[in-house]
Structure formats: C-alpha cells, structure tokens
Amino acid sequence: MQSNRVSNSPSPQEAVTIIENIAGRFPGFRRAHAKGIGLRAQFTPNGNAEPFTQADFLSGGTVDVTVRFSHSAPMPDQKERFVPIKGMSVQFPQPSVRPVSLVMVNAPVFPTKTPEAFMRLIQVLGMKEIPFRERLELLREDTELHTVPALLKKLKTPSSFALTQFWALHAYILSTAGGTGQPVRFTWVPARTEWSLPFSTGDMELELLERMADGPVRFRLLMTLASPEDPTDDPSAVWPDERPVIDVGVLTLGEKRQDNAEDLVFDPTAEAPGFGCSDDPVLKYRSPVYQESLRRRQSERNIRKPEQPF
C-alpha cells in the first residue's frame, strides 16, 4: 500500500539533538538503547521461507550472526526496572551488500505511524516540569498520539531477555527470483520457556549469560504473511491474528563479543536480493538518525575508522 504522506519530520541532526536535550548527553554511547550486550550467534533457516524469497539468510545454510539485547533508554545507567521497552537486534552478513538487520522490541506495534508524531511523543514524555498525568493528557489530546497512554499502561518490564518475545514492527517485502513480492512482519519467539535453575535478578545481561551457561538459549524466527488489505506503511497498525504465520528458522546464542558490538549499527533499512523495505516512513527515517548517532559517538570517542560504515 503506497503512502503519499509529506514528511515534516525533524532532520536526523535535529532528532538526535531533541533526544539529547531531553535525556542528556552521554558521550560515546548510542542515543537510544545505550545499555546492552552483544553476542555471537548462529541462525539456521529451515527452508520454509524459500517459496517467498531468494534472500540468502532466510533460505541458505547456517550463518554466523551478531545479536544485541538492549534497554531502550538513552541513559547507560538507567535502572532496568524503569525501562519496560527492550530491544533485540540481529545482524546477518550479506555477500557484496550491507548486512541485513532485524531490529525488534518487546511490543507488537510502534506507538505512532509517522516520524514527526514519534518525535512529538518523545518531547511530551520529556516534559519533566509537569506531572506525568498531565503529560498523558497532552497525548490524549493529540489525534496521532491519543492511543499511546493505553499502550504505556500495558507495558511490563520483562524479567529475562531469554523469555521475551520481540517484534520487528515494520513490514518488509520478500521476493523470489521471478519477482513475486510478499509483505511480511518478523517476530523472535523464545524456543525454551522453562528452566531448571534460579537466576539472578536486577541485571538482565548477567541473567542472560547465566541462562546460556545452563543450556542453549534459542529463538525461533516467525514470519507473518500480509493480505493485500493489510497496511505496510503504518507500523502502529495491527494485522489480524488469522494471518498465516510461518516458522522459518532458529537462532542459537553463542559467546559474548569482546567488543560488546558497541561499534556496530543495526540498520533496519539495509536490503539484499529477495529482501526489501516497505513504504513505511518510520522505517526509512531510522537509518539517517542511526548514522547521525554513530557519527556523534565516534567523534566523542575519537574513533577515526568505524568497524563498518553504516
């Protein structure tokens, strides 16, 4: 579904500055999801995606990938229990093109359908000079943000990365060598829901490493197929539950990366043969904002040459 929406979004530089003005500047860290853990992992497709795409990472053999779990706050020292939104990003290397990244959070939809509305949301929530209840009322009065208070009320801080479901939020377009296109949304679902040992609480990174020492931590990659009437340009829209869902592979977590994946950018707009972006304006807005965040933190850390340019 095509969108003719005209964007009045802040520039990438303005967007990052807005975040800094609200949360403060933390030199050398990401401007969002500042705290996290980077891991080596392997993804093994099971062949179920092959009728829909020629993308190597969905239809080939086992591939080494990088995974980063994170907390959404821009503050690297924010208490975890105050950050209900968690992230899970998986980067798949691609021959001759930029690595593909599935960037997900533990919520099934994005709070807004446009970048400009999301920046207004950030600004309203950042109004620390007025009570939180009054900030929620401002959101209810905004025609594009009026559903956000109900979404915020439903958010619960998860106890473990290993037991959390993550959604990609944005639609992607899969295609075969013959050119047939299929809009999809992706989800990571924990493969294991029961554990024999008690684990630490209060530090989700440490708790994850403890679980990994106890036994394999795996996630299944699910792919929801859109029908023609399902919007691909609105990440705040829910697709009906009856849409077909296909299990397309398994992710197995490995050891922690020594560099903690701090210099990697998980750009959700990178494309590859058989895998393309939808017409979602929020998805397209993320790439230049990520690059601006990268530019600033590398400058602050005096890093002359990044591990990768994007």
The answer to whether residue 216 scores a pLDDT higher than 50 is yes
- Identify whether 18 is part of a domain: no
Q: What's the rounded mean pLDDT across residues 183-193? A: 94
For the chain, how many structural domains are there in total? 1
pLDDT over 90, % of the chain: 61
Q: Is residue 26 part of a domain?
A: no
Establish if 244 belongs to a structural domain: yes
pLDDT of residue 201: 66
The pLDDT of residue 2 is above 60: no
Kindly state whether residue 82 falls inside one of the protein's structural domains.
yes
pLDDT beyond 60 at 304: no
Question: pLDDT tens, 141-186?
Answer: 988 898 888 888 888 889 899 999 999 999 999 999 887 799 999 9
Instruction: Give the CA angle between residues 29, 35, 39 to the nearest 5°.
Output: 105
- Domain of 76: which CATH number? 2.40.180.10
pLDDT band at 197; cut points 50, 70, 90: confident
**For residue 1, is it within any domain?**
no
Domain limits at 232?
Answer: 36-111+157-283
Average pLDDT value over all residues in the chain: 89
Has residue 277 been placed in a domain? Answer: yes
Most confident of 28-32, 199-203, 265-269: 265-269
Residues pairing with 92 in the sheet: 100
Q: List the single range of 13-17, 218-222, 224-228 with lowest mean pLDDT.
A: 13-17
Q: Say if residue 3's pLDDT is above 80.
A: no
Least confident of 7-11, 72-76, 178-182, 191-195: 7-11
Is a pLDDT exceeding 50 seen at residue 282?
A: yes
Task: With respect to residue 17, please indicate whether it lies within any of the assigned structural domains.
Answer: no
Question: Average pLDDT, stretch 27-40?
Answer: 92
Q: What are phi and psi of 160, to 5 degrees?
A: -155, 140
pTM for this predicted structure: 0.89
pLDDT above 50 for 34 = yes
In a domain, residue 105? The reply is yes
Query: Any idea which of 127-136, 200-209, 238-247, 250-259 has the lowest mean pLDDT?
Result: 200-209
Does 10 score more than 70 pLDDT?
Answer: yes
Report the pLDDT value the prediction gives residue 189, as an integer from 0 to 100.
98
pLDDT value at residue 23: 84
